[in-house]
Structure 1
């Protein structure tokens, strides 16, 4: 049977689970092929050269084989190389990175490439590995917005979704599942002004959207957090995101 091979594909590991006593299945986010599942045979053995390389939140280059015309959903890992460039995120950066990985696992279909989103994710992971300080919240909100827009799950932020009415610069609006962007009511916990939503939409349409969206999120990251998390959970379905629940549990200690 002919075996095709994908060579030195830029990738990150999103998740891993047992395949056999000595092997693992790796769910990977790759630049040109999207989310792929690879079986790493013998990786649990102490002598495996894969063991110190196959880590989450680390830039890798992976090669794998694809057997036959009607290829399986799970391919066989042939080689893995650590690209380097930054250390493993720790503390809040590690939890945030695992949260992003869970979002990608829940929302990305296999073999559906998103090269621009991959590059943005790689940039975010580099930030998480640094002493990121106050930039963490805007970085996460920017990634959430760009992820939703790339997947076609974010409506236009320059008008009210159901009525198509223009936004008033000083009005207050909220982003909610199924209804999109609408006027804020008294019971709504958070909202942004029409001017802020329009600034976010303009940034999303920029030629290089990540830095533009990041700048637009700096002044409204807190207000965006509840709305985007609710929208993302709606599209992820049940159960509640495990990393989000973990973050809430830690904050309540």
Structure 2
């Protein structure tokens, strides 16, 4: 629920920004204690604005804001340092993280654990490439889906709740959860691999363990998690995915 009191020193990341007027911006941010919210940054487009150099994606911020309307007013924004702006594949990956949050999180719905995971993933993708980057993205997808209640239990068959057999192959599908894989399901994992992922997710601080678990199976997880995310986002292709394909075509 929106609040009329002023909030100060709130950890946040910019997810998206767009024009509000000739001089102002609307900024969608992900905050630790208040979830996804929209803020008007008055005068942010002016060359002299203190907002201009800090309202950037994937940069850790501390914000002050207030108001009781759906779009609140940004009072101050301070950069917290930590890493430089990602580039190339890492930058596109960061936009992908943001697109998922915009598509799947309701406004004013706090997810402090997910905020911390997002922060961890941003730090990884700002410094890593290749396989490490892919493992970080799969970790984020799994933990995001679990946090918002869209990931089935990964150590049982979803429809029957029967335990997975360690050497039997299973696949994750949008409407059926985990089920026996067909011979054509090349991305399927065996029961022991799914159980290892579930054990990592069940830890009190799951990020590092899930990152390790994803490292060995990131390529197999990618198409399965992509299909699940597209299903819940209600799209066939996410905008960042389309952008990446267009760049590769060039």
With the length of structure 2 as denominator, give the TM-score of the two structures.
Answer: 0.96
Q: Distance in 2 between matches of 1:177 and 1:213?
A: 21
The residue number in structure 2 matching 1:34 is: 35
Aligned pair count reads 248
Residue 246 of structure 1: how far off its partner (Å): 1.5
The residue number in structure 2 matching 1:52 is: 53
| 2:113 aligned with 1:116 | yes
Root-mean-square deviation over aligned CA pairs: 1.4
With the length of structure 1 as denominator, give the TM-score of the two structures.
Answer: 0.94
Q: Distance in 2 between matches of 1:170 and 1:209?
A: 25
Q: Distance in 1 between matches of 2:248 and 2:167?
A: 33
Note the alpha carbon deviations across 1:59-117, whole angstroms, 9 max, x for none.
10010012xxxx21110000010110110011111010000000000001101111111
The residue number in structure 2 matching 1:174 is: 171
The residue number in structure 2 matching 1:96 is: 93
The residue number in structure 1 matching 2:70 is: 73
The residue number in structure 2 matching 1:62 is: 63
Instruction: Flag structure 2 segments of 5+ consecutive residues without an equivalent.
Output: none
Q: Which runs of 4+ in 1 moved over 6 A?
A: none
Q: Map 1:1-253; keep pairs closer than 5 Å.
A: 3-66=4-67, 71-238=68-235, 240-253=237-250
**Distance change (3 Å), C-alpha of 1:79 and 1:239:** farther
Residue 164 of structure 1: how far off its partner (Å): 1.5
Q: Is the 8 A contact 2:114 2:144 kept in 1?
A: yes
Q: Is the 8 A contact 2:131 2:215 kept in 1?
A: no
